[in-house]
A and B are shown apart, each in its own frame.
Chain A
Amino acid sequence: MNFSYNWLQSFFKRKLPSPEKLADLLSRRFAEVEEIRKENKDFVLDIDIRPNRAGDCFSHLGTAREVAAILNFKLQIANGKLIEDKKLKAKNFIHVDVRRQHQQACSRYTVRVICDVKVGPSPKWIQERLKVCGLRTINNIVDIANYVMLETGQPLHAFDFFKIESENSKFEIRNSKQIQNSKFKIPNEPKKIIVRFAKKGEKIFTLDNEEYDLDNDVLVIADSKESLAIAGIKGGKKAEITEQTKIVVLESANFNPKVIRGGSRKIDLKTDASRRFEHEIDPNLTEIAINRAAGLIQEIARQQGGYPKVTHGLVDFYPKKVLPKKIKLDLNYVASLLGVEIPNSEIKNILKRLSFKYNENSSRCLEVLAPTFRLDVSIPEDLIEEIGRIYGYEKIPPKLPFSTLIPPKRNLEVFWEDVIKNILKEAGFTEVYNYSFISEKDISIYQLNQHKSAVLEVENPTSADYQYLRPSLIPGLLKNIAKNQRFLTEPRIRASSLRGEIKIFELGKTFKKFSIFNYQFSNKPEIKNISEKRMLSGVITGDAFYEAKGVIDLLLNKMGISNVWYNDYQPTPEESKLSIWHSSKRAEIKIGQEEIGFLGEVSPKTISDLKLKGKAVVFDVDFEKLQKLASEEHEYQPISPYPAAIRDIAILAPRNVKVEEVLNVIETAGGELIRDIDLFDIYEGEEIPEGKKNLAFHIIYQAEDHTLSSKEIDEIQNKTIKALEQETEWEVRR
């Protein structure tokens, strides 16, 4: 909020520090000053008043009180004089009617009536202060109401008395022009101002000529016929102050913050008044503010040779007076919570400077009375904060806590997350963080719509691009690929990729919802039917199925998971994953009987939908399962002192023979002396008969207790070849 430096100065006889110095002090002791701006002869301080202090400090008075407490200056409150006309009684003009059922919404309603006003432009000093604070000038009456709001924090509203409907229209003086140059008559009976909730469908024209549809939870100020203002939010056109206005009805009320906040949201209108009311203002302020405003009107809005007549008395509806709160403050607690011993005298001095009163119950206990304008203060901790900030947080010496020496609990998820990320980084992958949101279009490309009922939708997305929570990391990763393929010539991308290959991964959360029937899958009991699962997904561009498979093997190996195997994927018709995967180059990743993820090439259709260049292979692994299977256990294998020998075998087999089948035969035939089998070539094409392929293996032989002789090796090798040739269509090439 904007504050005028000169205005703040006006509360003090003593000279304030320079705007910069004052700003620094306020930031350290009260609230952050975000900006200092020079404006003509004044400075604007933009102070970030926090919500707890808006009730008293959305005002120059409130902020000046803070300045007074910080600098230990004496605050001078401008008390304009107010002379009431004893012959005119306010209660003969206006009667305020707040029905019992609406009293929760309006804790106080104060009215003053001022006759014989001259509406015109306001004096320059008022206009200037309004301008510094960002308000427009309207006319002297409205400007004074706004001025007093900026000064005290109490929003005020002015109505034209003649425009308020009488209950009994006989007594109405309808045409205000009739009385322009003559004495008006005192009304025979007071006009009624009613505070009530709007009726459903009720409309109001506001001062800025907007029409608002009201509802029965919006509070209004009304006469006997219709509403005159949206209470605490905006004045209505009907009883607007104009140059013809002769009698001003000034309202200074206190409305329930929730009602004003609710109403303001309902009609989507925030104003300087609503902003103040929704933060809760001290009801005792209405009187101070209305007297201040009436005094200024009397001084300013006058005809030549006369003064406006302020009618006698306040019309004041205030059924339940708000009194200062009593709070017991244990001074030992002050010291132990702040961690510094502040002398009693200083604590008391700070409380006094902040307008808190206190009684000394004992030498270490105070009974503190919080002034009613400090509605935010109600518990001892509130007082300790007040004491601490004025004392100065910088004076609290840092002290390391004494604590039991308990080592931190190891978080295995975090540990394995780290391990995985490092392995992938070393395998050449760059880590990305994508948004947790995806668009309708993403869903349709991945045909997630078949499972759209499982996708969580955001009620208020920032844009259509981010309308749903991602059920998978893959859409984001493939978008990253498409984007980065445009930059392949960039040095930073070239330098870290081979022939334009891109390798990226993400480890992040995915979100799904379940129907009522299987909500037991959700592991968060209080958030029913929703799963929030961490996935590890990655992409390699190019014809990289085996490369990706190798990465998974490496990763699992490094995580101490050994029994991994890959299964042909058996799609179920409703499986939404299907469409993005290639029809054959895909596999389930399994550990024992558990599926932990999926690996496959992206289908040509998806590649073209996403405008990717060339092929791409994706892996998608359930991190939570992976993490549970992972183990740091690792056993050393003794190193044989006897040398290993290598022999090669190449076989010609039909195309549809799987490598695994061949390996099984070799392993069974070879027995335990075969230490490792290494497939080093798969070849189809020229020189190979149609429908066949050539598989070439290195076979590594080693014994633990002796050096293998050539004879021994040849025997096993021949046995292996025989076993292979048992298969009718397999042919070992020599």
Chain B
Amino acid sequence: MEKIEEFFDITAPGKKPIIGNLHPLTLIKKKVVEIFQAMGFSVIEGPEIETEWYNFDALNIPKDHPARDMWDTFWLKPESSKLLLRTHTSPVQIRFMEKNQPPLRIIVPGSVFRHEATDTRHEFQLYQIEGLMVDKEISVAHLKAILAEFFKKFFGRNTDFRLDPDFFPFTKPSFNVSVTCIICGGKGCALCKKTGWLEMAGAGMVHPNIFKNSGLNPKEWRGWAFGFGLERLAMMKYKIDDIRLFRSGDLRFLNQF
């Protein structure tokens, strides 16, 4: 006898288990941290409320110097406390070197604050990652090799990058790091303003004064450091067009990750 085929509708929807979502910055941070950990970098964190010394003076940014204008700062009350919300993760360089003898390799993720008006590209609270390597013989060539590894692992094989001159009081020489535009692959498009490049990070060789201010002998040690914003990285990776979405708490956005 022939069996009667039972009707079964495979087009009816599956029953999805409900799971949540991690924040895109968490995902990006995890990926970045993994790449650097694999290269021997330890993850170190530092306080978000900082003293003027660690955030500025120790980093070679003296009071009354126009270089301070590069970081618009939130100060805490009372003003006399000289406490502020860190404007970058770089104070952790000093804090770590004060307590740890080189050679060292660290990355420092964390929130930073900039006193500025917000729009689609500007935000007053950001998530940064800082890298620092200190050893006896450390050069720009080494920085380039580590950055190359990172970008290749993060963006994929065909990503190129370049160093352009820049200025940060705590590095000498200082670089502005750009990567091949991930949208057009370097041909030039609206995102990269027809240049084929996207600015990614600031970097440089640790300024001798930073070693001095950390209690290390600048004649003995050399190092490089870099820092970049995770929002920018996430915006590139996920093609997000408004930086304010990250801290909007909007599930229409967050549930996509």
Contacts and interface: CB of A to CB of B under 8 A. Distances in A.
A binds B: yes
Interface stretch (A152-160, A177-185, A333-341, A589-597): A333-341
A458 interface: yes
A418 interface: yes
Interface in B74-97: 74-79, 83, 85
A426 B19 CA distance: 5
B164 A28 contact: yes
A399 B164 contact: no
B144 A396 contact: yes
Interface string B244-257: 00110111101110
A409 B247 CA distance: 31
A431 B257 CA distance: 10
Contact of B103 (A262, A404, A497): A404
A310 interface: no
A487 interface: yes
B111 interface: yes
B256 to A, nearest CB: 7
Interface in A386-440: 388-389, 393-394, 396-411, 413-414, 418, 421-422, 424-437
B144 A398 contact: yes
A379 interface: yes
Given A399-B145, A400-B146, A530-B49, A490 B252 contact: yes
Contacts of A460: 74-75, 115
A492 B116 CA distance: 32
A607 interface: no
A400 B140 contact: no
A51 B69 contact: yes
A338 to B, nearest CB: 5
A258 B64 contact: yes
Given A403-B40, A496-B18, A27 B164 contact: yes
A135 B42 CA distance: 52
B165 A436 contact: no
Interface stretch (A350-358, A477-485, A688-696): A477-485
Interface stretch (A29-37, A192-200, A360-368): A29-37
B74 A339 contact: no
Contacts of A406: 40, 103
B140 A336 contact: no
Contacts of A65: none
B14 interface: no
A714 to B, nearest CB: 40
Contact of B51 (A425, A462, A526): A526
Chain B interface SS verdict (over half): mixed
A99 interface: no
A401 B141 CA distance: 8
Contacts of B175: 393
Nearest to B166: A50
Contacts of B45: 411, 413-414
Interface in A1-58: 27-32, 50-54
Interface stretch (B3-11, B20-28, B179-187): B20-28
A211 interface: no
Interface in B29-48: 30, 33, 37, 40-45, 47-48
A30 B105 CA distance: 30
A432 B23 contact: yes
B141 A427 contact: no
Interface string B197-232: 000000001011000000000000010000000000
B140 A339 contact: yes
Nearest to B63: A258
B205 A337 contact: yes
A408 B255 contact: no
B249 A459 contact: no
B118 to A, nearest CB: 8
A337 B139 contact: yes
Contacts of A30: 165
Contacts of A476: 249
Contacts of A461: 74
Contact of B167 (A53, A278, A496): A53
Interface in A458-472: 458-462, 466, 469
Nearest to A526: B51
Contact of B251 (A28, A397, A400, A487): A487
A492 B141 contact: no
B129 interface: no
Nearest to A460: B75
Nearest to B254: A430
Contact of B66 (A31, A278, A403, A433): A278
B163 interface: yes
Interface residues of B, number: 86
A396 B19 CA distance: 48
Given A31-B165, A407-B40, A479-B249, A457 B76 contact: yes
Contacts of A54: 66
Given A339-B139, A403-B105, A456-B77, A493 B145 contact: no
A426 B20 CA distance: 6
Chain A interface size, under 10 / 10 to 19 / 20 to 34 / 35 or more: 35 or more
Contact of B19 (A279, A408, A428): A428
B154 interface: no
A459 B77 contact: yes
Nearest to B167: A50
Nearest to A389: B165
Nearest to B117: A462
B23 to A, nearest CB: 4
Given A50-B166, A394-B163, A413-B45, A425 B140 contact: no
A493 B252 contact: yes
A532 B166 CA distance: 34
A477 B141 CA distance: 46
A261 B69 CA distance: 11
Contact of A385 (B48, B79, B103, B174): B174
Interface stretch (A238-246, A441-449, A502-510, A626-634): A502-510
A408 B205 contact: no
A418 B66 contact: no
A336 B30 contact: no
A30 B45 CA distance: 34
A461 B76 CA distance: 9
B124 interface: yes
B146 A401 contact: yes
Contacts of A262: 64
Contacts of B65: 51, 257
A498 B141 contact: no
B20 A431 contact: yes
B48 A492 contact: no
Contacts of B121: none
B104 to A, nearest CB: 9
B255 A492 contact: yes
A660 to B, nearest CB: 30
B142 interface: yes
A492 B256 contact: yes
B59 interface: no
B189 interface: no
B167 A51 contact: yes
A524 interface: yes
A433 B246 contact: yes
Given A428-B19, A530-B49, A495 B255 contact: yes
A665 B129 CA distance: 55
A493 B165 CA distance: 46
Given A29-B165, A388-B140, A418-B30, A430 B21 contact: yes
B53 to A, nearest CB: 8
A258 B16 CA distance: 65
B133 interface: yes
Contacts of A456: 49, 76-77
A653 to B, nearest CB: 35
Q: Which 7 A-B pairs have the closest CB atoms?
A: A339-B141, A339-B139, A385-B173, A480-B249, A50-B167, A398-B145, A398-B144
5 contacts: A399-B139, A399-B141, A421-B26, A432-B254, A495-B16
Given A32-B176, A459-B79, 7 more contacts: A32-B164, A51-B70, A403-B103, A435-B124, A459-B76, A493-B251, A526-B51
